[in-house]
Amino acid sequence: MTDATATPPRGASPVRSLWGATHPGPTLVVTVLSLALGIAAGVEPVPLGLLVAAVFAGQVSVGLSNDAIDAARDAAVGRTDKPVAGGAIAADRALAVAVGAVVVALVLSVPLGPGLLAAHAIALASAWAYNAGLKATPFSIAPFLLSFGLFPSFATLSTSTPALAAGWATVAGAALGAAVHLTNVVRDLDDDRRTGIRGLPHRLGARASVLLAAVGMVVGALAVLLGAGANAIGILFFVAVAAVALATAVLVLVRPPGRAVFQLTMLAALLLAAQLVVA
């Protein structure tokens, strides 16, 4: 669930254009994170392969639906770098593939049990709801809290003894999702406002959004530290997340939020994700 994407080169094939509209960077990051969490949870090789494939298909659907639904709005603000808005792939085709990817994601989830199927279906419905309109409301953060909060449970629900992840892992996942949402749209606030998007970050403003994201990541890191046990590795990750979050907060207070602030916030988010994996 993100607005970041990659631009295929001029004259790219339809398949490459479709891939560019999936938001490949975030799609691959979330997929790799599912693999890491699955390994950490002790998921067996076959279920692990199904889990990773299901998460990948689900993320493809989310990215494609985002660009397909936003095509007219992106074109209106000159975002022709995006494959769908730029005309490299038709919006209806992207949406059709997105729907197909959802079906694939859910079919792959079935062998992993009703718990994982339900969790994945809820997370995907939440992400699609964001793309379909929640992004323009004060509740724009809710799908990120829900989907990312459920994400650690994907691994634990895929084990031979399925169960929801620990509460502290859910808190950390939700904090990660909040940080992603609050900072990812900061660079597009003006374009979004011009096309009627007034989500929570737009209402808070760039500076307040980044500060809230930094606080959230520290809270998430603290939840992992206290929940998993304060061992040396846990303390090291907590200190790293807190240091980057503090640097982000200081930077955003002394200058207008820019690319450096976004990069620092994403670094803290990645550290939090790594802390969650090794906990």
pLDDT at 170 over 70: yes
The CATH class of the 1-139 domain is mainly alpha
* pLDDT range class, residue 258, cuts 50, 70, 90: confident
Position 46 scores a pLDDT of 97
Least confident of 75-79, 159-163, 270-274: 75-79
* pLDDT range class, residue 255, cuts 50, 70, 90: confident
pLDDT at 1 over 50: no
Position 5 scores a pLDDT of 44
Domain 166-279 = CATH 3.40.50.11750: no
Position 125 scores a pLDDT of 98
Position 12 scores a pLDDT of 62
Query: What's the pLDDT tens digit per position in 3-34?
Result: 444 445 455 678 888 999 999 988 998 999 99
Asked whether 58 and 105 are in contact (CB, 8 A), the reply is yes
Distances (CA, A) of 249 to 72, 144, 184, 272: 35, 21, 16, 16
Residue spans of the domains in the chain: they are 1-139, 166-279
Q: Considering only residues 1 and 141, tell me which one the structure prediction assigns the higher pLDDT.
A: 141
Query: What's the pLDDT tens digit per position in 94-114?
Result: 999 999 999 999 999 999 999
Which residues, including other chains, have CB under 8 Å from residue 116's CB and lie 6 or more apart?
51, 109, 154, 157, 158, 162
SS3 label, residue 207: helix
Q: Considering only residues 15 and 167, tell me which one the structure prediction assigns the higher pLDDT.
A: 167
Query: What's the pLDDT tens digit per position in 219-231?
Result: 999 999 999 888 8
pLDDT at 189 over 90: no
Q: Considering only residues 147 and 80, tell me which one the structure prediction assigns the higher pLDDT.
A: 147
> Of 269, 257, 62, which Cα lies nearest the Cα of 181?
269
Position 6 scores a pLDDT of 47
Position 190 scores a pLDDT of 66
Six-digit token string for 218: 């520290």
Average pLDDT, the chain: 89
Q: Considering only residues 186 and 152, tell me which one the structure prediction assigns the higher pLDDT.
A: 152
Position 82 scores a pLDDT of 86
Position 76 scores a pLDDT of 83
Query: What's the pLDDT tens digit per position in 39-81?
Result: 999 999 999 999 999 999 999 999 999 999 988 888 887 777 7
User: In percent, how much of the chain has pLDDT > 70?
Assistant: 94
